[in-house]
Amino acid sequence: MKKRLMIIGAGGVGTVVVKKSARMDDVYEAILLASRTKSKCDAIAQDAGPVPIETASVDADDVQALVTLMNRFKPDLVINVALPYQDLTIMDACLECGVDYIDTANYEPKDKAEFEYSYQWAYQEKFKKAGLTAILGSGFDPGVTNVFTSYIAKHYLDEIHYLDIVDCNAGDHGKSFATNFNPEINIREITQEGKFWEDGQWKTTEPLEIHQSVEYPRVGPKESYLLFHEELESLVKHYPTIKRARFWMTFSQQYITHLQVLENVGMTSIKPITYQGMEIQPLQFLKAVLPEPSSLGEHYQGQTSIGCQIRGLKQGEEHSYFIFNNCSHQKAYQDTKSQAVSFTTGVPAAITGRLLALGTWKQSGIWNMEQLDPDPFMQLLPQLGLVWEIVADGLL
């Protein structure tokens, strides 16, 4: 029987999830795209199909508003691509209405830049008892990077010892400063302390303190900065043999200079200030003046390159693998009118939706991506536009 899919969030990632899912008329009979601003939903729905798409305005911070909408549309599953602040309210509404749940970023309280799964893992018993599935972090990183790791663990290594996730955007959008996904979430992530896993404990660094040149396939060497990224938390939990796990991301000198200035003048702060009698958060104000990530696509050149460098043991011998995807901004735009950062996030979320709707990944409880069978997901990735490659025993 075909399923009913509700997608929440009509931003850059939402655009890709809608366009890809709407082509799955073998799986879905109807899609509801709901977001804060209905006109954005209508614009996306306009050139997506063949699955029929309804649109609606909803405040996803409001559980009751979500429940009312779900009771009307009766979705089988929800893909949440609004902001991480809405994860828990959407999960609550899913529990109340008996709907499966997928997201691409872990819950963050608005007043604290905190990246951890504890808030959502705490829903484990509730989802199990309700016989519902929740799949967390199903974008690229987290998401594909988790599946890349589990794929290597399943097919290539007995034990994983070292994991380095490397994320490069070698694209150029022609603006002097813009973020590739929601600016508020992006800047909160980058301006926090760095953190990595080593010898059974988390080690912290100053923001962007540790950096080194990393060689990216078909891109070349790029300065890459050690950040904390949420998939590290679930991966070291689910692969306890990991001795060291780190996450690296490239930033241009121009991006860092802009960010430093904005930080120095207080524009990246999440502490509310009073301005002309109104309480505003500087970072939210900054978001309002920066380009929307979904507007960057048309003139974006170059490509992204994201992968996992993994070293470990197979039958007592050490081996290393580099598993990665390169994605062209222009190709992503031709396919979905979105740049590659939205594309590489939206495609995996749409695949996860498909695997859940088909029952392949349906099992009660809360799951991180590496806990599910990687094979059907890895098979679909190239079919939906994300070709992956493995380099064996030749670390970059």
Residue 303 or 320: the one with the smaller Cβ distance to ligand NDP is 303
Residue 76 or 87: the one with the smaller Cβ distance to ligand NDP is 87
* Positive or negative: CA dihedral 90, 92, 97, 99: positive
Taking the C-alpha atoms of residue 392 and residue 395, their distance in angstroms, rounded to an integer, is 8
Residue 81 or 310: the one with the smaller Cβ distance to ligand NDP is 81
362 φ/ψ angles, rounded to the nearest 5 degrees:
-85, 110
Residue 65 or 395: the one with the smaller Cβ distance to ligand NDP is 65
Q: Could you give the angle at the alpha carbon of 287 between the alpha carbons of 196 and 137, nearest 5°? A: 40
- Residues contacting residue 69 through CB under 8 Å, at least 6 positions apart: 6, 32, 34, 56, 58
Residue numbers of the site for ligand NDP (CB under 6 A)? 9-14, 35-37, 40, 58-61, 81-84, 86, 104-105, 137, 139-143, 181-182, 185, 293-294, 342, 345
Q: CB of residue 19 vs ligand NDP: minimum separation in angstroms?
A: 13
Q: CB of residue 306 vs ligand NDP: minimum separation in angstroms?
A: 9
Peptide bond into 348 cis (omega under 30): no
Residue 76 or 103: the one with the smaller Cβ distance to ligand NDP is 103
Taking the C-alpha atoms of residue 157 and residue 372, their distance in angstroms, rounded to an integer, is 17
Q: CB of residue 369 vs ligand NDP: minimum separation in angstroms?
A: 10
284: tokens are 């939210």
Residue 141 or 233: the one with the smaller Cβ distance to ligand NDP is 141
- Residues contacting residue 148 through CB under 8 Å, at least 6 positions apart: 307, 308, 323, 324, 388
For tokens 């063949």, what's the residue?
Answer: 50
Residue 79 or 236: the one with the smaller Cβ distance to ligand NDP is 79
Do the Cβ atoms of 101 and 91 come closer than 8 Å? yes
Q: CB of residue 103 vs ligand NDP: minimum separation in angstroms?
A: 7
Residue 234 or 320: the one with the smaller Cβ distance to ligand NDP is 234
Q: Closest residue to ligand NDP, Cβ-based?
A: 11
Residue 12 or 385: the one with the smaller Cβ distance to ligand NDP is 12
Q: CB of residue 319 vs ligand NDP: minimum separation in angstroms?
A: 27
Q: CB of residue 171 vs ligand NDP: minimum separation in angstroms?
A: 14
Do the Cβ atoms of 34 and 58 come closer than 8 Å? yes
Q: CB of residue 365 vs ligand NDP: minimum separation in angstroms?
A: 20
Smallest CA-to-CA distance from 44 within 357, 383, 342 is with: 342
Residue 312 or 346: the one with the smaller Cβ distance to ligand NDP is 346
Taking the C-alpha atoms of residue 52 and residue 384, their distance in angstroms, rounded to an integer, is 20
Q: CB of residue 230 vs ligand NDP: minimum separation in angstroms?
A: 8
Q: CB of residue 360 vs ligand NDP: minimum separation in angstroms?
A: 21
Q: CB of residue 68 vs ligand NDP: minimum separation in angstroms?
A: 14
